[in-house]
Amino acid sequence: MPRWFDALGSRLNRMSSLVITLLAVVSALVVGAVIIILSDVERLGNGEIGAAFSELATAYSALVRGSVGSLRALSETVNNSTPFIIAGVSVALAFKTGLFNIGATGQMLAGGLATTWVGFVMDGPAIVQIPLALLAGLVGGALFGAIPGVLKARTGAHEVITTIMLNYIASFTILWALDTQLFQRPDRSDPISKFVSDEAMLPKVFGFIGLGEKFPAHSGIIVALLVVAAYWWFLERSKMGFEFQAFGQNADAAEYAGMRAKRLTVVGMVVAGGIAGVAGGIEILGRYGYATQTFAGTIGFDAIAVALLGRSTPLGTMFSAILFGALQSGGREMQVETDINIDLIVVLRALIVMFIAAPLLVKAIWRVKSAQVSTGQTFKGWGS
């Protein structure tokens, strides 16, 4: 073998985490391809194996075209990726603190409701109204995130249970709120909020050249990138960021070094909740313009997969969020051009997470010889 080839192989082996992540994505696509072919029962039954593979090629090419194949596709990918980036950072930050935040959905709902209220109550210029509305979303999400943090710090209640239950509480609370005179749209009887003012809506990226309707990407992506930058600075440059990571890696050693475990637990959940609240606010101001009970969708749960795929690092979380956004955009194009249901995208996401959670399996399948790979984030036990 040429020396450059051996050197490249050695370098890839040293980049174990990146290699395993990429191979996990490739493995998911390969398994997804097998599922597509085997599910084409009619063609396989008629012995049309070539046609089945042709359908697979059409599906995957449509997946690419629908995500990055045009300016409109890129615009959709940007819009889909934006909440994934912010909510992914929320979950990743909790992971770094050794906490498992499954409550990003509830925190998004709380933040989004607060953002909606500011959005239709205020009447002022966009330069004032948008920051205040997003600040309200941050506060709403932070307050909702504080609840499981305080419960864990004071009573030992595990955040997995409390955040799951708080998701339901948030969902039914927003359902109740949208039926009140304060929030409900006057001309509607169903639970839907008033419209936020036009000044509160996030401007379209291409709006300044009159193409905002055709290309719906909004400036929330700028907020998402700022969140990623702030997350990087927090981890790499701040004292509290160092304490978060030390506490997440070894709580006993952190306490022995003088760090206050209860304070870090509460602050970690408050900050994570606040970031998720911003993600909810971005969805209101950038995509919908009003609140419903389901505006957060499954973004909060998908953010867990985003953070795991990105290994809770700033850039890793951002790129995995973009991948999830691209899959969502391309999935619609794939469904239009083929008979394959968009639910395959959910399967692909699940497969990616499964392979990420089993790095030794990926190494065995692809025969990668590398240094020991972290098996993922570890979390403190019950009542700790």
What local confidence, expressed as pLDDT, does residue 335 receive?
A: 83
Whether 321 is covered by a domain: the verdict is: yes
pLDDT in tens, 228-249: 999 999 999 999 999 999 998 8
pLDDT digits (tens, 9 = 90+) for 288-325: 999 999 999 999 999 998 998 888 999 999 999 999 99
What is residue 343's predicted lDDT score, i.e. its pLDDT?
81
Which is higher by pLDDT, 306 or 11? 306
Q: What confidence tens digit (pLDDT) does each residue in 36-48 have?
A: 888 777 777 777 7
In a domain, 340, yes or no: no
262 domain-assigned: yes
Sign of CA dihedral 335, 336, 337, 339: positive
SS3 helix, strand, coil % of the chain, rounded to 5?
Answer: 75, 0, 25
Contact by Cβ (8 Å): 369, 38? no
| Within-domain flag for 216 | yes
> Span 50-73, mean pLDDT?
86
- Residues 6 or more apart whose CB falls under 8 angstroms from that of 272 comprise 90, 91, 93, 94, 97, 99, 101, 104, 107, 145
Compute φ and ψ for 72, nearest 5 degrees.
-65, -40
Radius of gyration in angstroms for the set of CA atoms belonging to the chain, rounded to a whole number: 22
User: Strand pairing partners for 204?
Assistant: 218
| pLDDT tens readout for residues 262-298 | 999 999 999 999 999 999 999 999 999 999 999 999 9
Enclosing domain of residue 166? 84-325
Q: In 40-103, which ranges are continuous DSSP H helix?
A: 41-45, 49-68, 71-96
In a domain, 277, yes or no: yes
Domain tally, the chain:
1
Give a yes or no: residue 8 inside a domain: no
- Is residue 280 a contact partner of residue 296, using CB atoms and an 8 Å limit? yes
Is 376 among the domain residues? no
What confidence tier does 375 reach under pLDDT thresholds 50, 70, 90?
very low
- Determine, yes or no, domain membership for 293: yes
Within 10 angstroms of residue 182's Cβ, the number of other Cβ atoms is: 12
User: What are the tens digits of pLDDT across the range 208-232?
Assistant: 666 656 777 889 999 999 999 999 9
